[in-house]
């Protein structure tokens, strides 16, 4: 499949110029979904009628000489934890299997206004809790590059949709690495924005102080184009940042034209994977090679130590389950969602939650409830929050001397189904990505070569809050130097 045919920026340019119609583009992508998603299972719901109606509206606006938006006719897939009016939003859980929201998420509103065409809702680990998309109540998603392996998670369906050519770009949510890790495992660009840069209005909450929405794409320019559309203040989200971010597309263009001379880059020692058995050797080598590539491109590169980074995994798995325990208490069988019968209210609620939640969700609810309980709050949740504060302080100190930091994104490439059945082994997939969620800083994954079994490796670029412009500049340089830029073909080629 030609990368030009699936490039979001190329599609938008062609539709605006009239050389392609939004309807013809939508039909091409929908045909790929119909042909190949039976094997991949990227989607929970394919929005065929809605997509064609939206594409028709774009074509009509173009024919009338109206501004059709920066993403005109671009097919986009939406993680199935983002509300879509009139289209079911399941969170890949039996609890919400038939729930149809009465409103759109803020990002969905912005995408529609920009001319993008939503082709479907993608599969995920239930309520975004997982790193492999094996925890979906509706079955796993397969990696289009090797269907015997996972696509990562929890946004595995969104990553697989782009890697397979089912959509030009997609949106995922990232609570502890759920955009960046599947991007790495599928050979894509994946971006977690600064906390508050993108509205969470209409995103079904997992851990409210950590969740952020961001894009998947095949290249950095497409990710920047989507970022520019979805970012910005929203009064409906109390955590939304009022300040405007500069254009990431402009940052990409500047980097392409002027390079990254003088950019200060730090390779984080604690996240480099050296000497750690859990990191595959090719992943460690790729991280070091990425640092060398940035130095060769003109950046000033040095190693840097952030001691609290190693405590991120432990702190996260106290804070995130605690917030999940609170957020998921609303699913009680009374107001909406699955409802089982029982002789009394307490029995009905217990039966509904038992039937509606999968094992991993139950595990995290119980862990979070325990961490918040009397007698254990200070010992567990309170201590985790103190580690989080110390981590923010250490990262801020480091960013006084560095513009961006880098590390591997995932300690391993895509693994086979069932290979990490032990929860603690699975949780370790997030060791490199979790710190940026705890600090609220932006981070992204860029493909950088191949590792074991010929599967892609991702390198993570981190930046201080609102530092996305330098992050995207570095990403352009890494993309240009990468041994292989990512999947050129997917399941449908």
Catalytic residue among 154, 217, 352, 445: 154
Tell me whether residue 300 is one of the annotated catalytic residues.
no
Helical axes 312-327 vs 383-399, angle rounded to 10°:
120
Helix (H) or strand (E) holding 169: strand 169-174
Helix (H) or strand (E) holding 121: strand 117-122
Helical axes 220-230 vs 106-113, angle rounded to 10°:
110
Residue 130 structure tokens: 């997982």
Rounded distance between C-alpha atoms, residue 405 and residue 441, angstroms: 11
Alpha-carbon 258 to chain mean position: 29
Rounded distance between C-alpha atoms, residue 407 and residue 241, angstroms: 27
Sequential DSSP letters for 282-295: HHHHHHHHHHHHHH
Residue 75 structure tokens: 């097919």
Rounded distance between C-alpha atoms, residue 128 and residue 230, angstroms: 20
Helix (H) or strand (E) holding 117: strand 117-122
Tell me whether residue 154 is one of the annotated catalytic residues.
yes
Q: What is the dihedral sign for C-alpha 272, 477, 218, 402? A: positive
Q: Is 61 exposed, middle or buried (0-12, 13-18, 19+ CB in 10 A)?
A: middle
| Site of tokens 């995408």 | 111
Dihedral of CA atoms 44, 365, 171, 392 in degrees, nearest 10, equals -170
Q: CA–CA distance from 80 to each of 40, 117, 380 (Å)?
A: 16, 16, 31
Catalytic residue among 79, 94, 110, 192: 79
Residue pair 97/116 in contact (Cβ under 8 Å)? The answer is: no
Dihedral of CA atoms 205, 207, 211, 216 in degrees, nearest 10, equals -80
Catalytic residue among 178, 240, 410, 445: 178
Q: Which residues of 221-234 are buried (b: 16+ CB within 10 A; e: fewer)?
A: bbbbbbbbbbbbeb
- Helix, strand, or coil here: 122? strand
Sequential DSSP letters for 209-239: TT-EEEEEESSHHHHHHHHHHHBS--TTSTT
Rounded distance between C-alpha atoms, residue 92 and residue 127, angstroms: 7
Q: What is the dihedral sign for C-alpha 39, 40, 45, 47? A: negative
Strands 169-174 and 212-217: antiparallel
Annotated catalytic sites, by residue? 79, 154, 178
């Amino acid at each position: 499949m030609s990368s030009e045919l699936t490039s979001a920026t190329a599609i938008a340019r062609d539709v605006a110029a009239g050389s392609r119609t939004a309807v013809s583009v939508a039909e091409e992508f929908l045909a790929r979904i119909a042909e190949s998603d039976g094997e991949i299972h990227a989607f929970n719901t394919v929005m065929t009628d809605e997509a064609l109606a939206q594409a028709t509206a774009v074509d009509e606006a173009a024919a009338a000489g109206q501004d059709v938006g920066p993403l005109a006719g671009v097919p986009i897939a939406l993680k199935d934890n983002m509300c879509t009016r009139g289209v079911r939003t399941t969170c890949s859980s039996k609890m919400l299997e038939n729930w149809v929201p009465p409103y759109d998420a803020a990002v969905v509103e912005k995408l529609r206004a920009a001319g993008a065409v939503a082709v479907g809702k993608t599969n995920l680990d239930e309520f975004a809790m997982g790193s492999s998309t094996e925890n979906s109540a509706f079955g796993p998603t397969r990696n289009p590059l090797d269907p015997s392996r996972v696509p990562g998670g929890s946004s595995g369906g969104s990553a697989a949709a782009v890697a397979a050519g089912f959509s030009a770009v997609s949106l995922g949510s990232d609570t502890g690495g759920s955009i960046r890790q599947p991007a790495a495992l599928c050979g894509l660009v994946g971006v977690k924005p600064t906390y508050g840069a993108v509205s969470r209005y209409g995103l079904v909450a997992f851990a409210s102080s950590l969740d952020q929405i961001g894009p998947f794409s095949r290249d950095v320019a497409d990710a920047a184009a989507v970022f520019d559309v979805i970012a910005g203040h929203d009064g409906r989200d109390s955590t939304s940042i009022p300040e405007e971010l500069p254009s990431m597309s402009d940052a990409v263009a500047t980097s392409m034209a002027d390079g990254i001379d003088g950019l200060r880059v730090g390779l984080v020692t604690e996240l480099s994977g050296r000497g750690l058995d859990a990191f595959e050797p090719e992943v460690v080598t790729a991280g070091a090679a990425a640092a060398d590539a940035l130095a060769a491109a003109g950046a000033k590169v040095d190693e840097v130590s952030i001691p609290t980074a190693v405590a991120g995994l432990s702190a996260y798995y106290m804070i995130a389950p605690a917030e999940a325990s609170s957020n998921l208490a609303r699913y009680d069988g009374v107001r909406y969602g699955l409802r089982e019968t029982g002789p009394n209210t307490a029995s009905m609620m217990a039966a509904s939650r038992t039937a509606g939640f999968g094992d991993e969700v139950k595990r995290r609810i119980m862990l979070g409830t325990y961490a918040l309980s009397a007698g254990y709050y200070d010992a567990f949740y309170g201590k985790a929050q103190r580690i989080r504060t110390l981590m923010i302080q250490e990262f801020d100190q480091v960013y006084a001397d560095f513009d961006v930091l880098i590390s591997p994104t995932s300690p391993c490439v895509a693994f086979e189904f069932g290979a990490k059945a032990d929860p603690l082994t699975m949780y370790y997939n997030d060791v490199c990505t979790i710190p940026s969620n705890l600090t609220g800083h932006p981070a992204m994954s860029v493909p950088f070569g191949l590792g074991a079994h010929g599967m892609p490796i991702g390198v993570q670029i981190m930046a201080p809050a609102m530092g996305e412009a330098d992050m995207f500049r570095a990403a352009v340089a890494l993309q240009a130097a990468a041994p292989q830029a990512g999947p050129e073909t997917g399941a449908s080629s």
